[in-house]
Structure 1
């Protein structure tokens, strides 16, 4: 009877250490909103009256995701050149440079903004390479959960930044914002050094001719013997895919659109990552203070902690969802759920809330809080963690790095646009802004239904074959690769089919 992969300590440890990159993302993203309420920060970087114009506040907030966009675009080349593990280390340690620029700022707000831009290069690179490393190294049975820990750590980072801001906000000097900034050095050092004690991605190691290293890593991560049929099957699949890619020659950027079924997958990845932002969770974080003021809650730091706590708690639930439910059903349910929340939120805020004195309409305010929290819960259990998994699984090794870089860049682009323009838009149209996100959520339901494969518990090579064979996404959960007719496979995957047929029947498909 063939042996089975196990849930091993080393695989879980790898997922958790790499996910510190997500913690850095969340911590840096979340801390800035608290700074604007600190007296010393306002005196140094605000106008003569200690206020922030929409342009200044938007620039300080938005230059982080702008830097992340650049970092995401260059990360693919870095990961393919020095390896996934070393790319994570370099990217993590780079964040220290941006932190130094921010902490050393005295009165020039643009210096602080530039520091966030530099830090963004690191965070953007990590947002590509960490899920890539996790997806390539994880056993198939727990790949969804391990990649989901990246989003879990993002929420933990956001929550931690809120608590630290709350703890230092009352300090009368620059310690109020310099202490939260300085703590960021710890996360950078832990990840930059810690990742070097973990093995390289087996798929990257194999592409560099380190076959035995790849075999050992697969066996170690799965808790099985190096000669186990499961290991042999995975090495065989990686070898066949690599031979196909070598036969095609060196990949160029244009091939991520012209390669076999690559236009479909590249565009889908871009849309899914953009959808994670357009699903609207960041809108509630940016506009949350106003929402909670509707019930008389004045402390904006308490507001942030409440929203952050909902985000963290529901992301834990998201780990169960991705393991039990899969990708398609969860994403469609999450988008539909958020659509309903935004519809109710918009019309309650526009027609039931007293815009001059919201304390006069406490029931409307309570409804806004409830549906804001429900929308965040929908995001945290579905679109937050699952998009990182779905995109990491979409592409073959030949195109994975540049495709993930481009897809993640679209996430950062929309992150920047929302963070920079939210205040301008809400000042003009107020709660009607929610209909924009509601419409996007409705579209995302149909995008997932018609275009995304169900990839739960499948190997990355098997997922690639599904796309090459034009498996209908609607029926993809029931697809059985062992029953594929010989003449139905495209030429780019024909070699793999032939090799798999030569394997003993006792070797299962992972």
Structure 2
């Protein structure tokens, strides 16, 4: 929400998809650090695996202090002067800043010609009735938007991404990779591929468009999950016999699955949700 409200239109898709980039970068760093700490004694290794996650949080806490407030929130509080200054800093031009301010003022019920630094905002404009308008008495357009947003978030989670990522060591073990170090390296590969393709999506989301990336992502996920299921089924039916090509197929399909998820269903869900609501 914050990224969508602060960023200019020219780079909104790019910036709104950044949370997914950093989430996956964090996952990758977690995999790498886990692999490094796995060499330490058990009583020390798992503590460091958990404790090292506090370091980025410290930098985040410091960075938040320098972040400007959302211009939309400032307008909703009647602080037009502060909102104007933030928009001037975060827009590509003065004209865009004025257009964005005019849109926010219209949504807040503030007259367009009002130029005071501080104004009184009507009670309704502060969002008290937003849930009523969204859930109880939505217009046909808002109802359609709500169905689309809830649907895309539902299918993002129902696609099985968490199961594949969290249980990837089990999948690799099922495929015949039983060495602990090799399993950790495979999970590092999963995190690396996921992060790289998130970056690819970030740079193409504004050039290619949301819909093509999303459709390509879903198609690739279906094919890769089908291949993964086929490989695991063959391995399961030949219990006791190591089938190298099936193991390679499983590893490849896991990597392809997270790659296809990362170019569309992962980041586009958040971009789409932030842009579609009025």
- Residues 319 and 252 (structure 1), Cα distance of their counterparts in 2 relative to 1, 3 Å cut: closer
Q: What is the aligned partner in structure 1 of residue 66 from structure 2?
A: 197
Task: Confirm or deny that 1:269 pairs with 2:130.
Answer: no
2:132 aligned residue (254, 257, 275): 254
Q: What is the aligned partner in structure 2 of residue 313 from structure 1?
A: 196
Q: What is the aligned partner in structure 2 of residue 283 from structure 1?
A: 163
Q: What is the aligned partner in structure 1 of residue 271 from structure 2?
A: 389
Aligned pair count reads 261
Preserved contact between residue 234 and residue 246 of structure 2 (Cα < 8 Å): no
Q: What is the aligned partner in structure 1 of residue 259 from structure 2?
A: 377
Q: Secondary structure at the match of 2:53?
A: helix
Q: What is the aligned partner in structure 2 of residue 171 from structure 1?
A: 40
Q: Secondary structure at the match of 1:325?
A: coil
**Deviation by residue 1:8-62 (Cα, 9 ceiling, x = unmatched):** xxxxxxxxxxxxxxxxxxxxxxxxxxxxxxxxxxxxxxxxxxxxxxxxxxxxxxx
Superposed displacement of residue 362, structure 1: 0.7
**Deviation by residue 1:238-258 (Cα, 9 ceiling, x = unmatched):** 111111895856315333222
**Deviation by residue 1:344-376 (Cα, 9 ceiling, x = unmatched):** 2222321365552352x1111111111211111
Q: What is the aligned partner in structure 1 of residue 211 from structure 2?
A: 328
- The correspondence of residues 108-507 of structure 1 with structure 2, limited to 5 A, is 132-224=1-93, 228-243=94-109, 246=122, 250-251=128-129, 253-257=131-135, 258-260=137-139, 261-293=141-173, 294-296=175-177, 298-299=179-180, 300-351=183-234, 354-357=237-240, 359=242, 361-395=243-277, 464=278
Q: What is the aligned partner in structure 2 of residue 121 from structure 1?
A: none
Preserved contact between residue 358 and residue 365 of structure 1 (Cα < 8 Å): no
Tell me the distance in 2 between the aligned counterparts of 1:338 and 1:182: 34
Preserved contact between residue 214 and residue 263 of structure 2 (Cα < 8 Å): no
Tell me the distance in 2 between the aligned counterparts of 1:362 and 1:172: 33
- Residues 216 and 252 (structure 1), Cα distance of their counterparts in 2 relative to 1, 3 Å cut: closer
- Consecutive unaligned residues of structure 1, counting only runs of 5 or more, are 1-131, 396-463, 465-510
Preserved contact between residue 8 and residue 92 of structure 2 (Cα < 8 Å): no
TM-score by length of 1: 0.48
Superposed displacement of residue 185, structure 1: 2.0
Superposed displacement of residue 305, structure 1: 0.5
Superposed displacement of residue 378, structure 1: 0.3
Following TM superposition, the consecutive aligned residue runs of length 4 or more in structure 1 with deviations greater than 6 angstroms are none
Tell me the distance in 1 between the aligned counterparts of 2:266 and 2:191: 13
Tell me the distance in 1 between the aligned counterparts of 2:238 and 2:45: 32
- Residues 271 and 281 (structure 1), Cα distance of their counterparts in 2 relative to 1, 3 Å cut: same
Tell me the distance in 2 between the aligned counterparts of 1:358 and 1:156: 37
TM-score by length of 2: 0.86
- Residues 351 and 173 (structure 1), Cα distance of their counterparts in 2 relative to 1, 3 Å cut: closer
Q: What is the aligned partner in structure 2 of residue 55 from structure 1?
A: none
**Deviation by residue 1:131-164 (Cα, 9 ceiling, x = unmatched):** x100100001001111111101011100111111
Tell me the distance in 2 between the aligned counterparts of 1:349 and 1:388: 32
- Consecutive unaligned residues of structure 2, counting only runs of 5 or more, are 111-120
